[in-house]
Amino acid sequence: MAFKGALVIDTEKCKGCAVCITGCPQNPKCIQLSHKVNAKGYNYLEMTEDGNCIGCASCAVICPDGVIEVYRAKVD
């Protein structure tokens, strides 16, 4: 059975350290740093348009600031 994940990222608290990107087993086609910046001037995390997230939550676990929430659903 396959799973599809979705991320909710607090973009205003993300400091763009990219630790989550290196910890993602689906990298490089799941998450990336945005070209946009938040109010503090940091490029924040975003999901890619490919949507290859499997909902493993590795990014949320490794995030030093705890700005990522992961949701997953079964896919038929």
Give pTM, 2 decimals.
Answer: 0.86
Report residue 41 as tokens: 């001037």
For the cut 90, the answer to whether the pLDDT of residue 62 exceeds it is yes
Q: Is the peptide bond before 28 cis (omega within 30 degrees of 0)?
A: yes
Domain boundaries, the chain: 2-71
Q: What CATH architecture applies to the domain 2-71?
A: 2-Layer Sandwich (3.30)
Distances (CA, A) of 51 to 13, 40, 44, 60: 23, 27, 17, 17
* Burial class of residue 43 in the structure, from the number of CB atoms within 10 Å of its CB (0-12 exposed, 13-18 middle, 19+ buried): middle
pLDDT of residue 59: 93
pLDDT of residue 68: 96
pLDDT of residue 57: 93
Span 2-56, pLDDT tens digits: 888 899 999 999 999 999 999 898 876 889 999 999 999 999 999 988 778 899 9
